[in-house]
Structure 1
Amino acid sequence: MKKEQTVRYMTTAAMIAALYTALTLLFAPFGFGPIQCRISEALVILPYFTPAAIPGVTIGCFLGNLFAGAVPMDVVFGTLASLLGAIGSYALRRHRFWVCVPPIVSNTLIVPWVLKIAYGAPELVPYLMVTVGIGEVIAIGGLGTVLLLGLEKYPMLFRR
């Protein structure tokens, strides 16, 4: 990678991480707990536009969880769920409306176990999968799709 490309990649990743962290903290009351809708998760569609979004979303999730006071298991496995979702979104970047699926699935499968084990949520894991899944569909499937469609109108933002 040329120096200019490296700087652009790192800057883009840093901006996405900062935005994800800020949104997570700003909307924290909605983003944690058995019934959650993390607005910042809409950003996991960004790998559709640039691979720099993968470390950006991952670092942003890590910092958002850390600064919000999440327990270590949540910081690690919540971040892992977002990383897997972002990688999956990047892998499906040629299929615009499928980029939302991997992060919805990874969070729906991983986060309920974190809620149950790390936080001792009294609800059953299948129930938590439904509630977390609904929040993910709203945040990623709804807001993420709107973000994707809006950003497609400005291709110069994510010049490759």
Structure 2
Amino acid sequence: MNTKYLTKASLIAGIYLVLVLIQIPMGNLTFGPIQLRIAEGLTLLPLVETAAIPGLFVGCLVANFLLTPYSAFGLIDILGGSLVTLIAAYITSKMPNRILGALPPILLNGFIVSIWVSYFTNIPYWYTVLGISVGETASVAIFGTLILSVYNKTIEHMQNQ
């Protein structure tokens, strides 16, 4: 790995963490059976930037660790949620377009994270899947599209200079 790659991965991890942290005062929609993490918009970046794969993993890991007081899920969410993010980011990086690239984070978070969230909250699994999947879809569709557009324009601008 080179310095440029590590720098990009670190920046993406930092941005993920900041986006989760700024949501806390607005009400806690970053954990629980309904999740709307603005930071999940970054999950489309692996389509165009491989450094986003470790960046998203580390950002999610640190965010979940630091925000443990806001979550009743503990170590399973810190490690499990972060591994789901890593796997989703890797699969997204192999997708041919933005529509298919959105599916791994939406489906994996919806179906896998819901396992422990449902268990710890005593909310039925399928309601939890629905709540997490809808929030993930909104994050990826709205924020992800915006983030990907800004990223692509920035890269294009840098190449034209």
TM interval, short-chain normalised: 0.7 to 0.9
Residues 38 and 135 of structure 1 are in contact (CA less than 8 Å); yes or no, is this contact kept in structure 2? yes
Q: Please give the secondary structure, in 1, of the residue aligned with 2:121.
A: coil
Q: Which residue of 2 aligns with 1:15?
A: 11
Deviations 1:84-128 (A, max 9, x none): 111111011x323321111111101111112123xx212100110
Q: Partners in 2 of 1:14 and 1:124 — Cα distance?
A: 37
Q: CA 1:158–1:34 in 2, change beyond 3 Å: closer, same or farther?
A: farther
Question: How many residues are paired up?
Answer: 152
> Deviation per CA, 1:39-80, whole angstroms, max 9, x where unpaired?
111111111121100000000000000000141010011101
The residue aligned with 1:106 is 108
Counterpart residue number, 1:95: 97
Extract unaligned runs of 5+ from structure 1: none
What fraction of aligned residue pairs are identical, expressed as a percent?
31
State the shift of 1:157 in Å. Answer: 7.6
Give ranges in structure 2 of 5+ residues lacking alignment. none
TM-score by length of 2: 0.87
Counterpart in the other structure of 1:133: 133
Counterpart CA distance in 2 for 1:157 and 1:131 is 38
Q: Distance in 2 between matches of 1:77 and 1:106?
A: 11
Normalised by the length of structure 1, the TM-score is: 0.88
Over 4 Å off, 4+ runs = 156-159
8 Å Cα contact 1:77-1:114 kept in structure 2:
no
